[in-house]
Structure 1
């Protein structure tokens, strides 16, 4: 058989034929504990719902039928280890090895007094205390602009959450204190103030499916050492509460679905040999491999699937008539 040497003259309509996975949520109205709900979701779907942004929150608000719920709350896939601390700035590329673990707690701190001390202040002596997040203190923000990092004291009293929002809007974030040198810089800004907010907060909240989404939609800051599971309250626009994991609630599962799109493309080919039969199954299979490689070279992924569409006569390829040449010949006859 002639060697396959096929040059693609025109490939029209080339486009992406695959798209990112879509998330489908399933509301289950049966009452289960958090552990039972997680087991059910992993058996029937993928896992308990992880929620990535306000678009997901709005999707769930639309999907839930409150008339089918015993109360308005349903488990989502968020659970806490109350001994875990993290910085407000979650971009780990900002920190060198070991810097995220720097702490300068006062002796006996953190003690999570009355289970409500989830945020961190620096005292005027440079030591840290855990403190209720709803208390108002002056915050210290910081700006990161290339290699330059600057701490900024804000002369307005704010709760920790208000301080975080302010710093993110007007600077980079609430201050991350990565070493003793930076601890001293923040302390030098305090003047006569007893306490200032820094960006460390108690947040061991982890998603059941291992997602690293830092999105949070709390109704109030979570507290309580025995209430370490999260539920969305759909009488409060899907905002979250922390509850005892053993209470019985409805729950939300999810699956990822990859949508399938189909497109017909017109392909014009030029043969290297007049004896080559483009409708030969072996030739067509080899052509598919070449076309798939061409699509991959244009940036499409390996999920693409190609097949030939047969015409009414059962063939895929048909020879094009050279109509323009025929018109030229007729014109010359008229001149004679």
Structure 2
């Protein structure tokens, strides 16, 4: 399957694509994979709009609408819209004005406060809806119209630089499909410099390779395992005519206990069973204790 189909399969039947967070995880993954090349859950988040952040899967940068300026984007991670209509990748910590989208009025607004990209994102989410998303030329033109025009500076006899503002497009780091952050990197040496967004593991060496997400490989899924706990309870039953060591009677008692648990809304998975004693029985009749004989004729001697 390709990476996205493998992710869907793992999420439907298990927990997610496998996350390998340390060397011990890597050893377990190699043992599970055998001798094959397999998809794992690591992917490059690539360029994504702030409003689309919760869609945790690799997107296709080639199909995304962009208006990058010449030689852009560089290795910076946040996007500025220029009055010229072109986009520039810049350090997210730079301070700039920004554009917010307001879903209640279906409009965008220029905020004339200079903030970092992440502070601007937080402001837009608190005050409006999110940083502005631009998916076509029409909206790109409308957003540039919100930016002020350049003016002539008579002191320097030059035009002021084109106005810019943060928009919602940003590039995330490598991340695991289940949302875990990535810090363990057993990358293989690759001759190609082509940027690809998904990761395949060679189980024979444990090395990771960047691979096109559309390629087809086997894949590793992960599953949350809840450790089992065993508890022994002693039950005392009043004597009656039923044979408590009869299998049908024992099953009837277990069924009554299960019904009681349902009434008490016990939601955890609990398996009830009887413990067989060394003599092959489950229940034993408790002998009644008899009181010692009372002293007669004269007071009992005390020791």
TM-score interval, normalised by the smaller of the two chains: 0.3 to 0.5
Pair member with larger Rg? 2
RCO greater where, 1 or 2, for CA within 8 Å and sep 6 or more? 1
Q: TM-score, normalised by structure 2?
A: 0.47
